Structure 1
């Protein structure tokens, strides 16, 4: 079968030039520096060339790329992309070794590495370094992800870069992957490190000092990078605002971004408890669910269960609608409907029938349809997007959300291994919302309900940042204006300080905003004295922030590319040494005296064959899709590999339109798992918690019926008998449901907290009598000891 793919193709008989991959992570507070070393050896009698396509975090700033051949280290320079490509081609044409690293024009989380002219018997070591901010999770952990998976990206018809050549895939069992991998991390912070968790097995955390502010951790031996490596880092007192001032580069021009000091502010606004305990009773909630083929199995089941929880947790008085998409899209109602028992039941019935059977992943059209719907007065629009993030037109999608950012907030959820961090983070960032990733054995529900709580928080408006600096020091904001502020969530602000003060060495920043009609502010005093030995990490992250903002402006949808804006990006990218879509890293070994003779052989790293019905890619930088169901039954893939996978010979003989290999893509007509429904496991019986939730009415109450009795593990007679005589049946049923939740399901409280609040509000509105007696009788019936005030009564 012919499929589009990532990485190079080789028969299993050919030697594999990659021998090992080593990844070292250094985390300082909430910033990570990652150094990856890829070691190659050419065991053949002809020179080799290799091209690899691999993922990085979407907001990573690639800041160093070098190659060591023998005793010679060649450090790459950042150059305008076309210039770098031509220099690479010229080097290969003249028989020199050359190395090229470039970012995809379709998605900023995908890179291509070309290793050209590795002589027979020669070894080469490639070193790649990047810095990235660590996102704060709902449970206050900082999330680092080393992407090992690059799923085929679905490319809609008619979009840029949808032409290419056929490439055939080969694979080997995971146990036969012929290279080794290692991963280690060092964590340091002003605050103690309380724990480090991972979806992969870890060796025990080793503390390096008695204060426990420094620690090291490694992946357990024998780990194959056949899935993303996720680390969750927890600090004590994580929510302290902080400022890191970093000195400029002595060799750079004063007044330039790299020549001046740069500050990174980390702010955690705290909202008054009175505001936080109230939940909005209005809003238009639009849920957009990916039903492409790759969502089959557990993913779509998890999504259905999550929509059940969301629909039960919505407040009476709001509006809602559910869209789902694949190659086409559907919506449950023609326009958002008032939330009540009738509309909720109608929606749930359709959710129960949803399968991953809509083909590809075309998210742009349903988004356009949603944005075309007129806003409902006094009902702020909140958009929830659930996707496994396998789209090729990432930048186009994010631009559309940005264009409509004034009319809504967007909350995004990346489902499963390989969800594009650029897409998921970009949707939330440009939509003023919050991003969550659901991987491995994670339950989707707690993370989604956390985001619903954010959506129900009062919206923060009129955000302003004011600086108070000594005379002689001026400030230039480098970050885009803050669009969203949520309780307990970090806001990062970068700024450049020009000039110096002879007197005061302290500055102050005030972030002011309006919350639920009340003016509020967060203030931070900080020293202007640069931190010791911080390198240029903050400068590079700040440069990356500016570059991303400029790139968005250069390519406004429907407009011509802005040549002046593009020059600004290229200049800043070259000056800071940070990659961009318009530049590339190029290294040429000019010290080798003999030109390499003969045409270059192309060699690839075979992919591991993973568990059934899933699509995985091989580790960190050598990828092509592997389908482990019967190949003959899989759909035909679109032939969309980019031209750079063609044989490289003399520059004059090559067509390199577009340069970098296209992302691995799927046919516009179907997703690669579209025909895998036969692999789906039988549906297990529904979890008792979800059964109880499914019985709740839109108003918040439960009815006393056999279904409720069954969930509680009782007969109808056993449930009805202890009810105090004058108490209404639905009041008694609702109190029993609340006691059961508090008595047996406290470990999942974040999942049911909002719908329990709705039930308590309903009970209060009934002005129910004998509540104390009901709680005592309910405890006796269910064998619990739940206090009345714990339930909220």
Structure 2
């Protein structure tokens, strides 16, 4: 076995040992988080990880520290422990509102407490309260994660990726009024209502290493033929101990990039089925892995390539993104059609390929590559509009439709984008290419899964060529589609299988399906589908009894993530209860639950609590701002003001002049008497900006006398907003009632199509007629009605699911029925 350390990417010269611009300090230090230790144990293709966070209070009053941090998006968080003053407190998993209530009650009573909450699949918030002066509190988090694999003729490569910093994210939308959802630096907006929970303040350049980092990884191949280990972004020291290899990251590293190991294995099985029984023996977890072989037959394709050129893509990322896009364009053939969209706050196309889809000729490909070569980073990350346009271009269902997104994924409105795209992705495969050393893997994996595609992450230009070879295979035709599961002698529990619709099998990409079964751990499972040439395809696996204790947690995490995404795009009303029950039953954290640890002993009765938010590093490889963009948000002595990053995130417009905003209250609680937030002021130099993107040409004026099209509120010249609201009210009541009926229909193909055709379609026919008579806008309802008219009882499941999701989205938007945001849960 060979340990191969890849050439490390060039990084900026380490900062001089000073304290950076705007720093305040004393001999006690100036940040509440002083250490992060990651202990990973990789056994076969599963990693068990313990993350240890050390908090210390350098103040002379009790402290509440907040830390916004990442974890792998596929990892199952299964335990939390708090250690302080020779006391050990085990955390319990509770419904999120109850956990917050327990935490706030404990803090108010002077007890030590900690709470961990999930805000994105890979973004978490830790609050630790009533840390006494000079006291150290240790938080231990346990998690399990699967290692994704890719295969080729020589064998398989598994990847262990552990993120270490939450990068600044672009926050679109209009700022909301009222209490903020969290303690982060960005304002909540209508597009990202929890932006203040996912936006930690960022350290100024030149700040000395504030957190001691250690990473230890123990690798046990568990019988697999391990051939090599590659460390992508960190220098590691190797220690061999028989069949196990221990790797340690060199001291002094910063929490500013992902930790990535790639493990090479020789050979692979075609399919395997692992059956792990629960302790009771009545139920268990199955994991089916299919490793595809062979190449697919190419078919004529429509390909839309969308390239992120926003400000956060500066430097090596923009170079790598252009190269990746050009490589994809080069793979196109004459029978293919394509479009290239580059975006920041506006969307641009190659000058000679300005509309529709162009044929994949040499001339058109040359124009596309020529356009790509001119792109540089600028502006904000308005991602929804180009994705929307890309879906609109892929309307021809007779061809193979592919959408490829190249980005770092650093946005905050993931849920908004997924909810908008979900009904439009039926029949469209979505592949994502994430380029960053602190990539938003959670969003890119979610989007690719929704589009039944593949996500590939690129952390350096050295990795790009290897990744592009895989991407080239993926954007071709899949090996098999319309996959279904067929058990033999194994009773699979209904609605437990994840992914719910396996969909597609790609060359070199293992298909992993997990679920729950009843009875004895025995039997077999077949996966059937349609091969690229139209023939039947099948893969069969006999069950083998396994003993992996992490199998149930990893399944539960994947199942919960899928349920949460279903909720985000408008699932039924009972879905929230199902998510909470699943989380609590299997002891796995989700966005609706939280781990809370409360000490029974009262630690302080002073009534004064200092609040500090831990700032994080600017990700490695990001271009440093020319002037301070953010302040150190957790310093020794309280100051008057904090300069937050621009509300719109990295690469947005300058911060307006004027007094800074008041410090927000802590998430999930109200300001407590005697509390003080730790902040520091810096020079109010305007932050870095980017070249202003071209302004779109104004729409041509309408010919005089041409009637104006009805708007979303009505079209009559003398109508006021109140009169229009009254006119629409009875129609909205009917839609609200229908929305409730829609959400109550089971996830069954026959029942859903019957409801769409016999109940929703007649209602829309009636509503459109009556609303048009009142001269009210019916555009979204008319579009939905027209989609319904194209359905019949023979429509396939994918088509019905797409229209069903569209109906939920349209009715939810029109009736403005708010769903209780889970990031503001309280009892």
- Aligned counterpart, 1:152: 168
Specify the SS of the correspondent of 1:153.
coil
Please, which moves more after superposition, 60-69 or 602-611?
602-611
Structure 1 residues 162 and 178: CA distance shift in structure 2, 3 A: closer
Aligned with 2:563 (options 528, 543, 550): 550
Match of 2:124 among 111, 117, 141: 111
| Residues 297, 200 of structure 1: alpha-carbon distance in 2 compared, 3 angstrom cutoff | closer
- Partner of residue 247, structure 2: 217
Task: Give the counterpart of 1:384 among 404, 419, 429.
Answer: 404
Query: How far does residue 375 in structure 1 lie from its aligned partner after superposition?
Result: 2.2
Q: Residues 488 and 641 from structure 1, CA distance in 2 versus in 1: closer, same or farther, beyond 3 angstroms?
A: farther
- Pick from 215, 224, 227: which aligns with 2:257? 227
Following the alignment from structure 2 to structure 1, what is the Cα–Cα distance between the partners of residues 368 and 274? 49
Report what 2:497 is aligned to: 478
- Specify which of 31, 41, 44 is matched with residue 26 of structure 1: 41
CA distance in 2 between counterparts of 1:173 and 1:637 reads 22
- 1:198 corresponds in structure 2 to 231
Q: 1:462-482 deviations in whole A, cap 9, x for unaligned? A: 311111116x88776421121
Structure 1 pair 328–586 and aligned structure 2 pair: CA distance change class (3 A): same
CA distance in 2, matches of 1:375, 1:597: 65
RMSD value, Cα: 3.7
Residue 462 of structure 1, aligned match among 482, 497, 519: 482
Structure 1 counterpart of 2:285: 262
Higher alpha-carbon deviation: 329-338 or 570-579: 329-338
What's the TM-score once normalised by structure 1's chain length? 0.71
Counterpart of 2:789?
A: none
Q: Out of 496, 520, 543, which is 2:516 matched to?
A: 496
Match of 2:310 in 1: 292
Cα 1:650/1:457, change in 2 over 3 Å: closer
8 Å contact from structure 2 (residues 192, 412) kept in 1: no
Measured in 1, the distance between the counterparts of 2:298 and 2:320 equals 26
Is the contact made by 1:29 and 1:187 (CA closer than 8 Å) also made in structure 2? yes
* Cα pair distance change 1:406/1:606, threshold 3 Å: closer
Counterpart contact for 1:413–1:436, Cα < 8 Å: yes
Seen in structure 2, the aligned counterparts of structure 1 residues 341 and 44 have a Cα distance that, compared at 3 Å, is closer
Alpha-carbon distance in 2 for matches of 1:317, 1:334: 18
Where in structure 2 are there 5+ consecutive unaligned residues? 1-21, 174-189, 636-641, 646-650, 676-685, 694-827
Q: What SS is found at the alignment partner of 1:599?
A: coil
Q: Within 5 A, what are the aligned runs for 1:328-477?
A: 328-332=346-350, 333-357=354-378, 359-373=379-393, 375-376=395-396, 378-458=398-478, 460-469=480-489, 477=496
Q: Structure 1 residues 473, 296: CA separation in 2 closer, same or farther (over 3 Å shift)?
A: closer
2:91 pairs with 41, 55, 76, which one?
76
SS at match of 1:346: helix
Superposition deviation, residue 169 in structure 1: 5.6
Q: CA deviation at 1:335?
A: 0.7
- What is the CA–CA distance in structure 2 between the aligned matches of 1:364 and 1:237, rounded to whole Å? 41
* Maintained 8 Å contact 1:412/1:436: yes
The CA deviation at 1:26 is 1.4
- Deviation at 1:418? 1.7
Q: Residue 536 of structure 2 aligns with which residue?
A: 519
Shift of 1:162: 6.8
Change (3 A) 1:510 1:175: same
Change (3 A) 1:15 1:447: closer
Q: Deviations over 1:270-322 (max 9, x none)?
A: 23xxx54x543x10111000010111222222222333332222111110100
Per the normalisation by structure 2, the TM-score is: 0.68
SS of 1:264's equivalent? strand
Q: CA deviation at 1:174?
A: 5.7
> Residue 495 of structure 1: CA displacement?
2.1
Q: Distance in 2 between matches of 1:39 and 1:52?
A: 11
Q: What per-residue deviation string (whole Å, max 9, x for no partner) do you get for residues 764-790 of structure 1?
A: xxxxxxxxxxxxxxxxxxxxxxxxxxx
Contact 1:52 1:112 in 2 (8 A): yes
Distance between the aligned counterparts of 1:432 and 1:222, measured in 2? 41
SS at the partner of 1:173? Answer: coil
Residues 218 and 247 in structure 2, CA contact (< 8 A), matched pair in contact too: yes
Distance 1:35 1:321, change over 3 A: same
CA distance in structure 2 between the aligned counterparts of 1:21 and 1:439, rounded to whole angstroms: 22
Offset at 1:458? 4.4
> Counterpart of 2:556 in 1: which secondary structure?
helix
- The CA deviation string for residues 103-149 of structure 1, in whole angstroms up to 9 with x for no partner, is 11xx3211000000011232211001112221224663211111123
Question: Bigger CA drift: 47-56 or 633-642?
Answer: 633-642
Q: Give me the whole-angstrom Cα distance separating, in 1, the residues matched to 2:661 and 2:396.
A: 42
Residue 129 (structure 1) aligns with: 142
Equivalent residue runs for 1:754-793 within 5 Å: none
Equivalent pairs, count? 618
The offset of 1:356, in angstroms, is: 1.5
Does the 8 Å CA contact 1:463/1:512 hold for their aligned counterparts?
Answer: yes
Match of 1:12 among 6, 14, 25: 25
SS at match of 1:573: helix
Select which of 173, 179, 184 maps to 2:217: 184
Q: Structure 1 residues 164, 124: closer, same or farther in 2, change over 3 A? A: closer
The superposition leaves residues 7-32 of structure 1 with CA deviations (integer Å, 9 ceiling, x where unpaired) of xx983335433332211111222222
Return the alpha-carbon distance in structure 2 between the equivalents of residues 640 and 489 of structure 1.
48
**What SS does structure 1 have at the residue aligned with 2:576?**
helix
Cα distance in structure 2, aligned partners of 1:641 and 1:243: 56
Q: 1 CA distance for matches of 2:200 and 2:391?
A: 38
For 2:160 and 2:655, the matched residues in 1 are separated by 32
Counterparts of 1:168 and 1:138, CA distance in 2: 40
Please give the alpha-carbon distance, in whole angstroms, between the structure 1 residues aligned to 2:537 and 2:210: 57
With over 3 angstroms needed to count, the CA separation of the structure-2 counterparts of 1:239 and 1:156, relative to structure 1, is farther
CA deviation vs aligned residue, 1:339-395 (integer Å, no higher than 9, x gap): 2233223323322222222x1112111111222235236421111100011010112
Equivalent positions of 1:716-755 (< 5 A) are none
